[in-house]
Amino acid sequence: MKALLSGNEAIALGAYHAGIRVATAYPGTPSTEILTELAKHDDIYAEWSTNEKVAMEVAIGSSYAGARTIVSMKHVGLNVASDPFMAVAATGVNGGLVVVTADDPGIGSSQNEQDNRYYGKLAGIPVLEPNDSQSAYDLTMYAFELSEKYDTPVILRSTTRISHSKAVVETDRERPQNLPALGFKFNAKKLVTLPAHARELHKVNVERLRKLAEASDEYEGNEEIFRSPDFGIITAGISYQHAMQIFPDASYLKLTFSYPLPENKIRDFASKVKKVIVIEELEPIMEEQIKAMGIDVEGKKYLPLCGELSADIIRKAAKAADWPGNLEHNDNLEPDYFPPRAPALCPGCPHVGLFYTLSNLAIRRADDDKKLIINGDIGCYTLGAQPPLNAMDACGCMGAGIGYSQGMYHAGLNQKTVSLIGDSTFLHSGMTTLLNAVYNKAEGLTIILDNSITAMTGHQPHPACPYTAQRKPTKAVDLVAVCRALGADSVETVNAFDMKALKDAVTSNLEKSGVNVLIVMGRCAAINKEGRGQKMFCSPFDCVKCGTCLKLGCPALKIGSNGTVEIDQDLCFGENCAICAQVCPKHAISKLDGGN
């Protein structure tokens, strides 16, 4: 059957058809939809784990039990999961274990750009790289076979452009009717990583990698396409597709099993083609290895190390390097400048009131050496760093903000800090850090932005939600109880849409000594469909054009033709937000039917 599938949908279907029993993940762009898709099947178990490390550990246990298992995450997720990942790379598997890392070249929606093909080298395990949805589907199947045959976890490395592009896929397989029986294989020398065992395992791993290099050479998906004796390209992943657009007449060594490299195939290809170039996105991983084989290739001398590749970028490199290809193109003039449309917090977003409150505090407006430092975290609320709210000063990776504040405290910075963290992020990696503040007595306020969902990545449930990835009812943990149990001196909650209460709660909590937590509660607008109420309206007679409400940065508010504020009725969330009405000093904003 032919279907139009995204790379993620193709990976999910490939895994389903490969007979997986278990799928685990923590959401993260561009990997999220793999688990969302798998969760739709009743005949497998799929979970949103609390974080990637946990997802990896659950997946490893499932593999040890003999089940084919897939665990998926975004590139930085593998940083979080790297400890159990390195352990399973050493022990090997039982049921096939596929680790999907979806990298984000170009940083469409991430905090950094990193090339996770290095993890294959680090762990000494194979890396497979799909170049479109069809190959994502096919490679997922192959990944399980490889994993079981060589007793190794396998990295399936996607990128945003593969994961989020749709293409036609021939989905020719079916899920097996009967899955192989489960069975844990008792073998402490393999599964208990005592130093004595681990030393032996490392030797086994080195030998495994040598065999995998042979497998890479034999794999038919590492395909030579011979067209020209003059110019040849070694490439993998999406880069192949872009390259074909510029160099349709070149010879290709098109790789999908890219670590370990198929050395014999590469030597053979290079001997048949006069000039060989390597086209790969981000790091020169293949290029360096091929050069180390003593083969003369060009690549990153002309191609960028940063960002996504495209046919356009490759064409420019080809011109500079004098590579032969389709270099003629209608190069349009550069576009004029137009005002940007940066992403903004939604109308009705429960995060807005808190940021507005923080940015208007007197200590936030003080000189730099007295000013309140806001250590933020990752989620929709990171948008609070942007104008007009400007209420975040540092944000590195998930869970880091609470730790930053503690470091500033212990360093002796004579200035107040506050840590902001989303509910999903707190449960992902904020709890141990709060515990650290309690144990090591780092005084300070942590504010948890509880919008009842993991919003940033498309609204996945987390452990404080009453249902699971597969929509089964479950026990929702109580954030207040969690924070109390971790030892916080005080834990308060406040309504995210009550501006007065917010201001009082933030001010009083900032004055307290000890380790304190304030939980700001308000449902994410995207899942708050029930309670919107009447739309808001700004009276042009009462508006004095002071611009106070515009400092909320709400997309529904704009300056109308006569200079007063207008509220876009299509965008306005409604009276159950009404933050604008609360900040307007002239009470010009009210419910649509509640006029003067």
Partner 1 sequence: MDIEHGFDIVLVGVGGQGVVLASDILSEVAMRNGYDVKKTDTLGMAQRGGSVVSNVRIAPKIYSPIIDRGDANFLVGFEKLETVRYADMLRTDGVTLMNDSKIDPVSVSTGKGEYPSDQAIDAEIAKYADNTIKFDATEKSHELGNVKVLNTIMLGALSFFLPFSVSKWNEVLAERLPAKVVDINLDAFKAGRAIILDIISRAEPADLSGDVEEEKEENNQYYM
Ligand X SMILES: Cc1ncc(C[n+]2csc(CCOP(=O)(O)OP(=O)(O)O)c2C)c(N)n1
**CA-CA distance, 590 to 570, in Å (whole number)?**
16
Output phi, psi for 298, to 5 deg: -110, 155
Q: Could you tell me the smallest distance in angstroms from the CB atom of residue 130 to ligand SF4?
A: 30
Minimum distance, C-beta of residue 456 to ligand X, in the bound complex (Å): 3
Provide, rounded to whole angstroms, the least separation between the CB of residue 112 and partner 1.
14
Q: Please say which residue, 12 or 496, places its beta carbon nearer to ligand SF4.
A: 496
> How far apart, in whole angstroms, are the C-alpha atoms of residue 95 and residue 565?
62
Whether 158 contacts 7, CB under 8 Å? yes
Q: Pick from 209, 318, 349, 431: which binds ligand SF4 (CB under 6 A)?
A: 349
Confirm or reject binding of residue 568 to partner 1 (CB under 8 A): yes
**Residue pair 89/153 in contact by the 8 Å Cβ criterion:** yes
Q: How far apart are CA 104 and CA 106, in angstroms?
A: 6
How are strands ordered across the β-sheet holding 373-375?
373-375, 417-422, 444-450, 515-521, 490-495
In the complex, what is the shortest distance from the CB of residue 495 to ligand X, in angstroms, rounded to a whole number?
17
Q: Which residue is nearest to ligand X (CB)?
A: 422
Report the partner that residue 77 touches, choosing among ligand X, partner 1, ligand SF4, none (CB closer than 5 to 8 A by kind).
Answer: ligand X
- Nearest approach, Cβ of residue 128 and ligand X (Å): 22
Q: Check residue 65 for interaction with partner 1 (CB under 8 A).
A: no
**Please, are residues 306 and 313 in contact by the beta-carbon 8 Å criterion?**
no
Residue 548 token pair: 């106070």
Q: Which stretch binds partner 1 (CB under 8 A): 91-99, 256-264, 493-501, 568-576?
A: 568-576
368 neighbors 412 (Cβ within 8 angstroms) = no
Measured CA to CA in angstroms, residue 453 lies from 90, 243, 377, 442, 469 at distances of 36, 41, 15, 28, 12
d(CA 356, CA 281) in angstroms, rounded, equals 40
The partner in contact with residue 525, picked from ligand SF4, partner 1, ligand X, none with C-beta cut-offs of 5 to 8 angstroms by kind, is ligand SF4
User: How far apart are alpha carbons 434 and 553 in whole angstroms?
Assistant: 31
Residue 394 interacts with partner 1 (CB under 8 A)? Answer: no
Q: Does 307 bind partner 1 (CB under 8 A)?
A: no
Smallest separation, CB 453 to partner 1 (Å): 13
Distance CA 229, CA 268 (A): 12
**Which of 156, 266, 345, 565 touches ligand SF4 by CB under 6 A?**
345
DSSP string, 421-486: EEHHHIIIIIHHHHHHHHHTT--EEEEEEE-SSBTTTT-B--TTSSB-TT--B-PPP-HHHHHHHH
- Toward ligand X, which CB reaches closer, 491 or 565? 491
If the CB atoms of residues 453 and 554 are measured against ligand X, the closer one turns out to be 453
Asked if 281 interacts with partner 1 (CB under 8 A), we say no
- Nearest CA-CA partner of 515 in 406, 442, 412: 442
Question: Tokens 């509910």 identify what position?
Answer: 423
CB of 352 to ligand SF4, least distance (A): 8
Which residues are bridge partners to 25 per DSSP? 48, 72
Q: Which of 135, 310, 406, 452 binds partner 1 (CB under 8 A)?
A: 310
Residue 306: name its binding partner from ligand SF4, ligand X, partner 1, none (Cβ under 5 to 8 Å by kind).
Answer: none
Tell me the window of 123-131, 148-156, 260-268, 344-352 that interacts with ligand SF4 (CB under 6 A): 344-352
339 interacts with partner 1 by CB under 8 A: yes
- Under the binding rule (CB under 8 A), the answer on residue 327 touching partner 1 is no
Query: Is residue 559 involved in binding partner 1 (CB under 8 A)?
Result: yes
Site for partner 1 in 482-541 (CB under 8 A): none
Report the interface residues with ligand SF4, using CB under 6 A.
Answer: 345-346, 349, 351, 380, 451, 455, 524-526
**Interacting residue ranges for partner 1, rule: CB under 8 A:** 2, 4, 29, 108-109, 132, 161, 164-168, 238, 240-242, 244-245, 310-312, 329-336, 338-346, 380, 383, 387-388, 456-458, 547, 550-551, 553, 555, 557-559, 568, 570-571
